[in-house]
């Protein structure tokens, strides 16, 4: 199989990740943060090391600013639902994933309003103007993607953060597609909340996500309350992160796998990963742009305006049909709306074929994709 669906989840995982997870099941089998015997404390220490690594990677003030979540979606839900009240206004980009839009839609029924800023791919000044126009006196939060999961378009999140703060609002960045690929520093960049998937560019297993807090003293309302292993005498949820947002037993094998995944990214080098993947995407774009039957939707992608994600269509064909043909040829891509209908609405597409390489994708795999796509004619006839 040629796996080119790394925006959904990276595959394969580095060997170190697989080994670390097996080690977790063998050696770190106690519940961390609950007891005082050796294996429990050792497991707590291993979890703490992952927090430290994530804090360092994302420029957080300390490991207490790293909150483990089951996914980036749940991290986003925590920020969105934990910081908004009826009457609040939110600004989002017009590229957001349903992980942002669906919680906001649910909050709309409770009196939270939102405005979509019309982004301009490749023109960050125009994008900034759009955000500036969208922010109002009641804007409490701006939620925006760091990189579109459909079209790869990057947003100038540090500039947007500075703009937010001028207006007294906070910023939450959805880094699902950029964490591990594009460097981001929550302290230097002024990013109040950074939501990451552990299982994409960070090469951890599915079931892991991170919420990185710029200011641990600024609390969010909790979505889940329960056991945290401390202050159990009280029926009130503890105030301090990260445990405040981590009720219940942590996914220790997942967290240890994520630790190894971040280690892999650090070892290879984020810049090298970004450049390597963008080179593959650029090759793909150039090859597809020479095929008359292919529709592309952005200018040639380039650092730093794009992440390595490319969408296309074959004229006259449904994206899912093209995906099926590719799947039969052993090429794995994702088709359809990618849980981001807003992005498709913006670009006028009703679905696309999406290609997303990883650090493990080989050039010959992209060449194989190009050859296969070249053989798919436009129109409705059988392929």
Partner 1 sequence: MGKPLLVVSSVTYAMKGKEILFRKGIRSYVERIPQTGETGCGYGVYVPEKADEAERILQENHIRVLTRLDREEDL
The residues binding partner 1 (CB under 8 A) are 32-33, 35-36, 41, 44-45, 48, 51, 62-64, 228-234, 238-240, 242-243
The residues that bridge with 143 in the sheet, in sequence order, are 92, 172
Alpha carbons 113 and 381: distance in angstroms, whole number = 46
Of the pair 34, 372, the CB lying nearest partner 1 is at 34
Inter-CA distances, 364 with 8, 53, 182, 273, 370, Å: 21, 34, 24, 17, 10
How far apart are CB 131 and partner 1 at their closest, in Å? 32
How far apart are CB 212 and partner 1 at their closest, in Å? 14
Q: Exposure of 311 by Cβ count < 10 A (0-12 exposed, 13-18 middle, 19+ buried)?
A: buried
Convert 60-98 to b/e letters by CB count within 10 Å (16 or more is b).
Answer: beebbbbbbbebbbbbbbbbbbebbeeebbbbbbbbbbb
Residue 6: name the closest of 152, 184, 173 by CA. 152
How far apart are CB 31 and partner 1 at their closest, in Å? 11
Of the pair 64, 345, the CB lying nearest partner 1 is at 64
Of the pair 36, 137, the CB lying nearest partner 1 is at 36
How far apart are CB 163 and partner 1 at their closest, in Å? 28
Of the pair 15, 45, the CB lying nearest partner 1 is at 45
How far apart are CB 198 and partner 1 at their closest, in Å? 18
Of the pair 53, 317, the CB lying nearest partner 1 is at 53
Of the pair 225, 320, the CB lying nearest partner 1 is at 225
Instruction: Take residue 28 and report the two structure tokens written for it.
Output: 């770190």
How far apart are CB 79 and partner 1 at their closest, in Å? 20
Is residue 359 within 8 Å of residue 180, measured between CB atoms? no
Of the pair 231, 289, the CB lying nearest partner 1 is at 231
How far apart are CB 225 and partner 1 at their closest, in Å? 15
Alpha carbons 340 and 336: distance in angstroms, whole number = 9
DSSP secondary structure string for all residues of 255-266: HHHHHHHHHHHH
Alpha carbons 372 and 349: distance in angstroms, whole number = 22
Instruction: Take residue 213 and report the two structure tokens written for it.
Output: 């807090």
Is residue 75 within 8 Å of residue 67, measured between CB atoms? yes
């Amino acid at each position: 199989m040629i796996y080119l669906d790394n925006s959904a989840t990276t595959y394969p995982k580095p060997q170190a990740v697989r080994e670390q997870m097996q080690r977790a099941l063998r050696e770190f089998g106690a519940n961390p943060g609950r007891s005082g015997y050796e294996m429990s404390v050792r497991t707590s220490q291993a979890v703490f090391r992952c927090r430290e690594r994530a804090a360092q990677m994302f420029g957080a003030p300390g490991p207490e600013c790293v909150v483990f979540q089951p996914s980036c979606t749940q991290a986003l839900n925590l920020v969105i639902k934990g910081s908004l009240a009826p009457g609040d206004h939110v600004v989002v980009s017009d590229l957001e994933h349903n992980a942002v839009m669906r919680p906001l839609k649910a909050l709309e029924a409770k009196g939270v309003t939102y405005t979509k800023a019309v982004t301009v791919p490749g023109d960050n000044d125009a994008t900034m103007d759009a955000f500036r126009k969208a922010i109002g006196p009641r804007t409490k939060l701006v939620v925006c993607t760091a990189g579109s999961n459909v079209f790869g378009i990057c947003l100038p999140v540090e500039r947007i953060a500075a703009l937010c703060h001028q207006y007294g609002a906070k910023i939450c960045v959805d880094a699902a597609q950029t964490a591990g690929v594009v460097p981001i520093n929550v302290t230097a960049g002024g990013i109040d909340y950074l939501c990451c998937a552990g299982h994409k560019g960070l090469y951890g297993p599915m079931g892991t996500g991170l919420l990185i807090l710029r200011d641990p003293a600024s609390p969010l309302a909790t979505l889940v309350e329960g056991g945290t292993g401390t202050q159990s005498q009280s029926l009130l949820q503890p105030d301090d992160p990260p445990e405040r947002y981590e009720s219940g037993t942590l996914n220790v094998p997942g967290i240890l796998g994520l630790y190894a995944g971040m280690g892999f990214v650090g070892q290879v080098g984020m810049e090298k990963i970004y450049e390597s993947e963008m080179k593959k995407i650029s090759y793909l774009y150039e090859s597809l742009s020479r095929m008359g039957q292919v529709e592309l939707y952005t200018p040639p992608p380039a650092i730093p305006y794009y992440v390595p994600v490319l969408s296309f269509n074959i004229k006259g064909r449904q994206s899912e049909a093209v995906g099926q043909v590719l799947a039969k040829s052993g090429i794995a891509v994702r088709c359809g709306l990618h849980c981001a209908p807003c992005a498709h609405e913006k670009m006028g597409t009703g679905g696309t074929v999406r290609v997303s390489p990883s650090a493990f994708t080989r050039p010959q795999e992209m060449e194989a994709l190009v050859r296969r796509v070249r053989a798919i004619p436009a129109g409705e006839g059988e392929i």
